[in-house]
Structures are given as structure tokens and as C-alpha cells.
Amino acid sequence: MLAAMAGAFVPAVAAQGDQTNARIFIQTAERAKEIALEFIERARSSGTDVSAALGLVEEGGRLLAQAKAAYDRGDYDSAAADARLAQTRFRDALKMLGPEKATIEQEAEARLREAIERARERIQKVREALASSTEITDELEQIRRKLYEAEGLLKEAESILGADVENSSEAARKTAQAEKLVSEAFVMLKQASGAPNRHRIEAFLKNMEKEIQKLRNDLEQMARRGIRIDDLRSLLDTAEGLLKTAQGKASDGDLNGALSDIEQVRNIIEQVRREVSGRQRHGP
């Protein structure tokens, strides 16, 4: 019974959508810088003046460094903005050298499609965890709704990419919104999975309190008959102290600690029961 109450909890949740958005723009900017430098080297080897293009790449590099610094300190909005400006500088450098800007846009599309696929995998994991969490009722519809909305946003992002690769920023925004919804669904699932276990433990603790009180009543009857019970009263006092400790742990979310205390209480109750039975048979 105690093992069943322990249960398995849903893993912790992942990063928010704004972080995903910023990460995608930074990765795309990094790839755009690599492409621009590659074309600069080609143009330089053919004798073309690349000083202007190189200046744009250097400026883009500074913006990219700012974006990474903002990302590291958790300022994802600034990170995304600087990364997009960096992409613009690298794209302008490429325009000066001649190649189509589609190279960068296609790289952005590939990154976004990878993010969309990862988000879909996470949605599937939440659904699998949801299917095995049979005790969840009230939150079930809310979690399903978030997953449904996330899937809709991912489909919209794919449609945008299919119709207009240049509008990758809008697709990235929708992908980020979808990931945020999936993260929220993870959090709700974890909280909903933990709640039934806490309630079950609390109900079990109340039942044990009743058992202890019943044993105390038996001890009082034995005392009136002159049977020695002081040691058994002391054991029940210990059991009640453990119950209070278990209640505190359960309220704080330490279910494993509560279960450990409950196991000790169970052993004490069984010990007292055996002693009561034996002493009642043999009398004073």
C-alpha cells in the first residue's frame, strides 16, 4: 500500500517559449555569420574588394555577442532583437558579395522546423504521461486544451514557412508560443499528479489517528483491570509524534519522508496490538 502511495512524478518542465525564440535567432545568426565569412573568403581569393562586406560582418559579430550575453543573463527579448539585427548585417554583407539571401532564410527555416519537431515530441510525452495518470480529473481538460492550442500554433508556423520563408520571425514567434503552452501543460501535469498522492497520505494519516485513539481506549480499559500499560502508552505517544511529523512533511511536499514516518507508525501500532492482545489474555 505504501509503495502504491509513493507514485511516480512527472519530470520537471522545460524552458519557456521566449527562450526558445531567442535561441533560434541566435543559432540562425551564427550560421549566417559562417556563410558570410565563407563568401568573403571566396570573393577575396578572386580579387574582389571585401572591406565593406567585412565591416558589416564585424558589426554583426558585435551584435551577436550582445545577443549571447543577453541570453546568458535571461534577457531573451533583447537577445532575440540583437540576434535579428546581427542577421540583417550578415545578410547585407552577402548582398554586397552577390549570393542570394535565400541561403540565410533557408537556414532559418531548417532551424525552425527542428524546433517544431522537438515541440511535437514534447507534446507526445505529455500525452503519454497524461494517459498513465489516471487520478487526474479536474485539470485534465485544461492540460488537453493547452496541448491542442500548441499543436495549432505549430501547424500555423509550418504554414507560414511553407508560404513565405522570409517571414521566419512570425513562425518563430508562434513556435515559441507553442513551447510555452507545452511547458505550462508539463507544470500542470506535475502538480496534478502530486496532489492525489498528498490527499491519499493525509487520509491515511487520519485513519491511523483513529487507530491510535482506539488503542488508547483499549489501554484505559486494561488499566482499570489492573493490567500494566505504561510502556504501551509511551509507544503510542511516540506514534502520535511521528504522525505529526508525517503530516508536516506531506504538507511541505516531502511525500517520501512522510511515507517513512508512516511506516514507523504502522510498526508501532502492530506492536501495541500484539501486546494488548497478549496481556488481555493473561490478565494482571
Mean local confidence (pLDDT), 115-128: 86
Mean pLDDT calculated for residue range 127-144: 70
The answer to whether 239 and 212 are in contact (CB under 8 A) is: yes
Instruction: Look up residue 187 and give its three cell numbers.
Output: 507544470
- Distance separating alpha carbons of residues 24 and 170, to the nearest angstrom: 12
The three three-digit cell numbers of residue 178, written as one number = 507553442
pLDDT at residue number 104: 59
Q: Which pLDDT score, from 0 to 100, does residue 166 have?
A: 57
* pLDDT score at 14: 32
Contact between 159 and 116 under an 8 Å Cβ cutoff? The reply is no
Residue 5 pLDDT exceeds 70: no
pLDDT exceeds 60 at position 3: no
Mean pLDDT of 29-34: 84
CA distances from 213 to 143, 153, 222, 239, 265 (A): 42, 57, 14, 11, 13
Q: Give the per-residue pLDDT at 12.
A: 31
Rounded distance between C-alpha atoms, residue 158 and residue 172, angstroms: 10
Q: What is the pLDDT of residues 174-209, one digit of tens each?
A: 888 888 888 888 878 777 665 556 677 777 888 889
d(Cα 143, Cα 32) in Å, to the nearest integer? 38
Check whether 66 has a pLDDT greater than 90.
Answer: yes
Judge whether residue 111 has pLDDT over 70: yes
Task: Calculate mean pLDDT across residues 167-178.
Answer: 79
Please state the rounded mean pLDDT for residues 97-124: 74
Give the DSSP letter string of 218-268: HHHHHHHTT---HHHHHHHHHHHHHHHHHHHHHHTT-HHHHHHHHHHHHHH
Residue 10 pLDDT greater than 50, yes or no? no
For residue 195, what is the enclosing H or E element?
helix 168-224
Q: How far apart are CA 280 and CA 175, in angstroms?
A: 72
Residue 225 clears pLDDT 60, i.e. is over it: yes
Cα–chain center distance at 217: 48
pLDDT at 68: 93
Domain ranges of the chain: 10-194, 196-282
The yes or no reply on domain 196-282 and CATH 1.20.1270 is yes
Q: Which three cell numbers stand for residue 229?
A: 500499560
